[in-house]
Amino acid sequence: MQNFMRDAAQFMPLLLQGLKFTILVTAGSLLLSSLLGLVWALMRVSGIAWLAMIAKLVVNTLRGIPILVQLFYLYFVMPEFGLRLTALEAAILGLGIAYSAYQSENFRAGIEAVDHGQIEAAQSIGMGWGLMMRRVVLPQAIKIILPPYGNIMIMMLKDSSQASTITVAELTLQGSLIASSTFKNMTVYTLVALLYLSMSLPLIAFVGWLERRFGKGTKR
Amino acid sequence: MSPAMIELGSVTKSFGTHQVLKGITASVERGEVVCLIGPSGSGKSTILRCINGLEAYDGGLVHIDGVKVDRDASSIVGIRTSMAMVFQRFNLFPHRTALENVVEGPIYVKKEPAAEATARGRDLLARVGLAAKIDAYPAQLSGGQMQRVAIARALAMQPKAILFDEPTSALDPELVGEVLEVMKSLAEEGMTMLVVTHEMGFAREVADRVLFLDQGVIVEEGSARELLSAPRNPRTQDFLRRVLRPI
Ligand SMILES: Nc1ncnc2c1ncn2[C@@H]1O[C@H](COP(=O)(O)OP(=O)(O)OP(=O)(O)O)[C@@H](O)[C@H]1O
Ligand SMILES: [Mg+2]
């Protein structure tokens, strides 16, 4: 135990460096995937056939390719087309784009769950599509969207470790670097796991709260 | 002569192969209250929805105050704001209070100054007997109260006419009266109204004219007293017998 504490104190600064990148990758790709996902979802429900078609194609393509392969593509293949990204940029972009497919499906399900009578009421007072989305549909859809959104956040936090495969020195990569040079596997990976938990447990609690607040059975 | 407020000429409408409206010709004059009655599935809601452009019609013409209803024209916004609609299931915005529901259209669609719209919204809610419920959310209101908010929301648009689609059908029997009372007072003030209803008492008392629709055709039309007490068409007779004496 004493050894553990001593080693932990020694490794912690490096691991916290990694944690910083984990948070950067997670937050960046979360933001990007949410924005892109909303765009795909709005295209899907726009009622304009070709827009919906494009969005469906994009979403299915993204869902059909492993995230890892998408990351490799961005980081190793795009430079051949003249798009040179740092590892961090590629990670945020790659995870953000890959996850936009899941975000989109969640947003769309939420939007489509809004009672059709709401749409008629909005149209009958002369609202156009944009105003109706903003004032009537999305504020109601968000209650359906939020609980699964919390779960996506947790998955993204964990999947940010995939950035390690394209050399982003986030928590998992820092851990394995330390482990391979010190052979203190147990200490290092215990610390890595605890650091992930320290971020995901609050998120899980937050999702639980969202589900209680907005989940089934609540009136408004 | 000024054009009728609502004018339908040989309107047809199909869903797939099922022709729901088979040439509807009818009109509602300024200040008139017309009730539209008929069995379930006869096309009553579809007529209302074609009038404010919620649904496109296939053939014939729909004119509102002389303007053609065309869902693809920019005039459709003006038509929708001038033809308010009250729905069977109220369709209030659940995330907004009674007052917010009422002022939503005036502020965000008609771009009226908020203070003005809000003052009028309060007056309208008071007028339908809900001054005390201004800040209540729909979930906190009874069905009758919700429908009265919906009527206030319709009035807030300062419409040329109001379309009612079975406004009391979703209500518990003891709540029907309060909604009909409000509608009656609107009629007395000269509001143009087209009302789909199964409330024959209301039709008899308030309607200037009644149209009987069956299987997409207006089978009979006449003054409320005429049509309801002495229907000529056998289908009307049969329908009224069933509505007035259920089972
Ligand atoms: N969007 C739609 N798609 C397909 N069929 C439809 C659609 N809307 C209505 N219909 C059909 O059109 C017919 C007329 O419907 P409508 O709602 O106008 O009848 P209604 O007279 O209002 O009946 P109710 O008294 O039950 O409200 C029905 O047979 C209905 O099934
Ligand atoms: Mg109907």
ipTM of the complex: 0.92
Contact A103, A38 (CB under 8 A): yes
Contact A99, A36 (CB under 8 A): no
The DSSP bridge partners found for residue B8 are B26, B62
CB contact under 8 A, A140 and B95: yes
| Residue B209 forms contact with A (CB below 8 Å) | no
Q: Is the shortest distance between the CB of B45 and ligand 1 below 6 Å?
A: yes
Structure tokens belonging to residue B158: 């300062």
Express each pLDDT in B149-199 by its tens digit.
Answer: 999 999 999 999 999 999 999 999 999 999 999 999 999 999 999 999 999
Contact B210, B37 (CB under 8 A): yes
| Residue A126 forms contact with B (CB below 8 Å) | yes
Long-range contacts of B21-26 (CB under 8 A, 24+ apart): B21/B46, B21/B47, B21/B50, B21/B57, B21/B216, B22/B215, B22/B216, B22/B217, B23/B60, B23/B217, B24/B60, B24/B213, B24/B216, B24/B217, B24/B218, B25/B60, B25/B218, B26/B211, B26/B218, B26/B221
Which secondary structure element, helix H or strand E, spans residue A155, and what is its range? helix A138-159
Closest alpha carbon within chain B to A141? B95
Cα separation, B111 vs B80, in Å, equals: 15
The number of helix segments (H) and strand segments (E) in chain B equals 9, 10
Q: What is the model's pLDDT at position A215?
A: 60
Q: Which fold has domain A13-219?
A: MetI-like fold (1.10.3720)
Structure tokens belonging to residue B237: 């007779």
Residues 6+ apart with CB under 8 A from A193: none
Closest CA to B32 of B224, B231, B197: B224
Three-state SS at B137: coil
Residues 6+ apart with CB under 8 A from B217: B22, B23, B24
Structure tokens belonging to residue A196: 């992930």
At residue B146, does pLDDT exceed 90? yes
To the nearest whole Å, the CA of B217 is away from the closest chain A CA by: 25
Strands of B217-223's sheet, edge to edge? Answer: B83-86, B161-165, B192-196, B33-37, B209-214, B217-223
Closest alpha carbon within chain B to A127? B109
What confidence tier does B247 reach under pLDDT thresholds 50, 70, 90? low
Q: How far is CA B236 from CA B44, B124, B222, in A?
A: 15, 37, 12
Q: What is the model's pLDDT at position A193?
A: 95
Restricting to A residues 130-159, those with a Cβ less than 8 Å away from any Cβ of B are 131, 135-136, 139-140
The DSSP bridge partners found for residue B192 are B161
Which amino acid, residue B131? A
Cα separation, B171 vs B154, in Å, equals: 19
Strands of B6-15's sheet, edge to edge? Answer: B18-28, B6-15, B59-64, B67-68
Which secondary structure element, helix H or strand E, spans residue B8, and what is its range? strand B6-15
CB contact under 8 A, A219 and B52: no
Structure tokens belonging to residue B234: 């056998």
Cα separation, B43 vs B13, in Å, equals: 9
Model-level pTM? 0.88
Closest alpha carbon within chain A to B85? A124
B97-120: average pLDDT: 97
Q: How far is CA A143 from CA A33, A140, A195, A203, B160, in A?
A: 19, 6, 30, 17, 36
Give me ligand 2 centre to Cα A137, in Å: 23
Phi, psi for residue A126 in degrees, rounded to 5: 90, 10
Would you give per-residue pLDDT tens digits along chain A (220 residues)? 778 888 888 999 999 999 999 999 999 999 999 999 999 999 999 999 999 999 999 999 999 999 999 999 999 999 999 999 999 999 999 999 999 999 999 999 999 999 999 999 999 999 999 999 999 999 999 888 988 998 999 999 999 999 999 999 999 999 999 999 999 899 999 999 999 999 999 988 988 888 787 765 444 4
Testing ligand 1's pocket by substitution, the residue of B15, B21, B242 carrying the most ligand atoms inside 8 A of its CB is: B15
Residue linked to tokens 């200040």: B31
Structure tokens belonging to residue B26: 């009818």
Express each pLDDT in B10-35 by its tens digit.
Answer: 999 999 999 999 999 999 999 999 99
Closest CA to B62 of B21, B105, B19: B21
Q: Is the shortest distance between the CB of B40 and ligand 1 below 6 Å?
A: yes
Testing ligand 1's pocket by substitution, the residue of B21, B44, B195 carrying the most ligand atoms inside 8 A of its CB is: B44
Contact A11, A187 (CB under 8 A): yes
